[in-house]
Amino acid sequence: SQQGEEDPQALSIQEGENATMNCSYKTSINNLQWYRQNSGRGLVHLILIRSNEREKHSGRLRVTLDTSKKSSSLLITASRAADTASYFCATLGNNAGNMLTFGGGTRLMVKP
Amino acid sequence: NAGVTQTPKFQVLKTGQSMTLQCAQDMNHEYMSWYRQDPGMGLRLIHYSVGAGITDQGEVPNGYNVSRSTTEDFPLRLLSAAPSQTSVYFCASSYFGDTEAFFGQGTRLTVV
């Protein structure tokens, strides 16, 4: 079963606009990670936020984490056509031996 | 560094055939894992390893075997291929369990 669920499932915006994707999860976590997947390629790590952190930035990416609501959001500012991809959140549980559990992803299309 | 290398990139099997998907990493990572990705879904964990000689089952292990004789290699064996195993398979590695994961480019498997 999937731990995380992304919302929306698909998002289409114009270049220059901001894109926001949300992730909800069910059980307590050690950390939450966001990955990008270009069509037909492997996943690329974007950002990791630990359970005791509330916000992290990396370039045009901003991630927030609300452990009380068991949710996270990924904001991409000033989007570019090259940002077109699927974005996945993945959670790592607190138990020893836990591995990443992925959500179903958000397909982002940025129109030039 | 090559990162995580998966072979082959594409494979067609007949029902009942067996095969091994190869995965190698050159980053001296302890943690390695296999995921499958089906259309419109996120990644589901098949098997994982927290170090050489140690393997464990993930969410969907049936029909697959793994072994970890070296730190670098983590092959995935399909014992008797079934059409339900048609999927894209990703291998991933990480230094620790709670750090970012690096993914291979995937193996697209079709079972007819």
Closest CA in chain B for residue A41 = B105
B46/B94 Cα distance (integer angstroms) = 16
Q: Which residues contact B89 (CB under 8 A, 6 or more apart)?
A: B6, B21, B34, B35, B36, B37, B46, B76, B106, B107, B109
Closest CA–CA distance from residue B52 to any residue of chain A (Å): 14
B94/B31 Cα distance (integer angstroms) = 5
By percentage, how much of chain A surpasses pLDDT 70? 95
What phi and psi values does residue A81 have, to the nearest 5 degrees? Answer: -55, -35
- For the segment B57-98, what is each residue's pLDDT rounded down to a tens digit? 999 999 999 999 999 999 999 999 999 999 999 999 999 878
User: Nearest to residue B75, comparing CAs of B34, B14, B28, B27?
Assistant: B34
Would the CB atoms of B59 and A48 count as touching at under 8 Å?
A: no
- Element containing residue A42 per DSSP (H, E): none
A43: contact with B, CB 8 A cutoff: yes
Which has more confidence, A97 or B45? B45
Would the CB atoms of B101 and A45 count as touching at under 8 Å?
A: yes
Q: Which amino acid is it at B110?
A: T
| Average predicted confidence (pLDDT) for chain B | 95
Q: What pLDDT sits at residue A3?
A: 64
Within 10 angstroms of residue A108's Cβ, the number of other Cβ atoms is: 21
B29/A36 Cα distance (integer angstroms) = 21
